[in-house]
Every structure is written in structure tokens, then in C-alpha cells.
Amino acid sequence: MHLSTSLKSFLVVACVVVIADQVTKALVISNLYLHEVRPVLNGFFNIVYTTNTGAAFGFMAGAGRWRDVFFQTVSVFALTGLLYLYHRSPDRSYPFFWGCSLIFGGALGNLIDRIHYRYVIDLLDFYIGPYHWPAFNIADSAITVGGILLALHFLHTSARPQCKDFT
């Protein structure tokens, strides 16, 4: 199988995200107890060890066993669709390349957790005073940044003048 240079670069970036995500999670698992909090910047940032059986912000966390199958299936379809979108797209701007690569790596990192643990490990806890943002991980960060980059790509692409066929 021959992979284009662009697709190889895409996969390298995605693998870097997966490795960074899995290494940070392994470090948290091996150095913290479940629900332990380690302050890094008082009043702003902690490293924590928490789990999330749901999606973003714990959505569907209380659902039954079908939830695991649902999230794993959706993840596989999303990864396949993203790879297809990237491979077939004629317009690969830098935001498109980075957006797709980061989302792919992040989705794969969280899918690995879902298959291995049946939940996702979260470790980054940002807060101001008593107001905490829900804990997240490197994969979640990559998905968020990738989503912003893809949105910028598509907004820029849709703002271009379109050629009209008058025949």
C-alpha cells in the first residue's frame, strides 16, 4: 500500500497526539490515586486522576453497558469518516491538515481508553476559585483545537467566491 506524503504526515501528527495522550494518562495512573488532586498553580490548575464514562462533560455517564458499544462504534465511524474526508479532500490547507490530524489523534486516544478501561481518563483541572472547568485530557485538547482549526478552514473556504456556471 502506497501512502502519500500528506497522509503520512497526517498519521505522524495523529500518532504524536496518541502517544502524548497515553503517556500522560499512564503517568497519572502510576503516580496518583483515583480522585487524587495535585496542585500545580494554586487557584488555577491541578493535575487530577479522574474517570469519565460518558462523553463531553460527563454526558451519558450514567447509561448502561450499551453506552460503551455506542461510544466505541461512533468513534470508529468518526475516525473512518475523518480519514476518508482527509484523503478525498482536494483543498488541504494548513488548518485543514492540522485540524483533521489533531481530531483523529484525539479521538483515537480516547477510543483506546474506552476499549481498555471502558472509560476515559481525565487529568487536567483548570479552575478559578470554586469554579472548575470539567477535567479533561490531551486527547480532548487535541479534538478541541482541531475542531477550531477545521471550523476556520471551512469558514475561509465558504467565504471564497464560487465560480458560477451560466450554461
Q: Is 91 a catalytic residue?
A: no
> Quick check: is 165 in a domain?
no
In a domain, 70, yes or no: yes
Residue 1 lies in a domain: no
Best CA proximity match to 133, nearest among 58, 30, 76: 58
Confidence band, pLDDT 50/70/90 cuts, at residue 4: confident
Task: Confirm whether 164 is domain-assigned.
Answer: no
Distances (CA, A) of 82 to 9, 100, 143: 15, 7, 12
Which one from 21, 113, 122, 125 is the annotated catalytic residue?
Answer: 122
Distance CA 150, CA 68 (A): 27
Q: What is the DSSP letter of 136?
A: B
- Domain assignment present for residue 124? The answer is yes
Q: Which position among 21, 113, 125, 140 bears the catalytic label? A: 140
CB atoms within 10 A of CB 37: 14
21 is catalytic: no
Q: State pTM to two decimals.
A: 0.86
Q: What is the SS3 assignment for 19-61? A: HHHHHHHHHHHHHCCCCCEEEEECCCEEEEEEEECCCHHHCCC
* Boundaries of domain holding 15: 7-159
67-123 pLDDT tens trace: 678 878 889 999 999 999 998 888 788 999 999 999 999 999 999 999 999 899 999
Do the domain assignments include residue 2? no
Residue 23 lies in a domain: yes
Residue 128 falls within a domain, yes or no? yes
Number of domains in the chain: 1
